[in-house]
């Protein structure tokens, strides 16, 4: 991605107006780049950026489970599920559960993962996942 003027201005502003460590500036830059990339990428490519656990949680969200139900089913803490959900929404470029469900319904690539989960295969890693 080429550096456009707004990105360069953002970096200068960070350096001049805030006394931040370089690692913080780098993290913010990566976050900004990620946001721009996800705005243009195919949702199927974004899906592949999710970890297996994140995909599993996304499927459960899509199926209508609450965070509490997901935590119980996966034997994880509620805050862990919330953290995963925020990461999923960010990576997929959606605002929340409703938008994620709409996106997953629209993209046929998610069907095979959803079918695997509904058949009870959600505890095994699908062969096509790295």
Q: Tens digits of per-residue pLDDT, 55-88?
A: 999 999 988 999 999 999 999 999 999 999 999 9
pLDDT of 123 above 60: no
- 89-107 as b/e, with b when 16 or more CB fall inside 10 Å? bebbbbeebeebbebbeee
- pLDDT score of 53 more than 80: yes
Per-residue confidence (pLDDT) for residue 43, from 0 to 100:
79
55 burial (CB, 10 Å; 0-12 / 13-18 / 19+) is buried
- pTM (2 decimals)? 0.59
Nearest C-alpha neighbor of 107 from the set 59, 67, 52: 59
pLDDT above 70: percentage of residues in the chain? 61
Residue range 43-125 forms a domain whose CATH class is mainly alpha
4 has a pLDDT exceeding 90: no
- Do 126 and 113 form a contact (C-beta atoms < 8 A)? yes
Residue 11 has a pLDDT of 67
Torsion of CA 74, 76, 78, 80, to 10 degrees: -110
Q: Does the pLDDT at position 127 exceed 90? A: no
Binned at pLDDT 50, 70 and 90, residue 24 comes out as confident
> Given this model, what pLDDT does residue 1 score?
43
Cβ neighbors of 30 (< 8 A, separation 6 or more) are: none
Which pLDDT belongs to residue 7? 64
């Amino acid at each position: 991605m080429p550096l456009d003027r707004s990105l360069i201005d953002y970096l200068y502003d960070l350096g001049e107006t805030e006394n931040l460590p370089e690692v913080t500036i780098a993290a913010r830059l990566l976050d900004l780049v990620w946001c721009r990339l996800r705005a243009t990428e195919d949702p199927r490519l974004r899906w592949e950026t999710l970890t297996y656990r994140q995909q599993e949680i996304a499927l459960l969200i899509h199926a209508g489970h609450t965070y509490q139900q997901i935590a119980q089913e996966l034997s994880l803490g509620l805050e862990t599920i919330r953290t995963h959900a925020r990461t999923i929404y960010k990576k997929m470029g959606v605002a929340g559960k409703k938008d994620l469900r709409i996106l997953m319904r629209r993209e046929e690539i998610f069907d095979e993962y959803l079918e695997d989960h509904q058949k009870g295969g959600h505890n095994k890693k699908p062969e096509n996942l790295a």
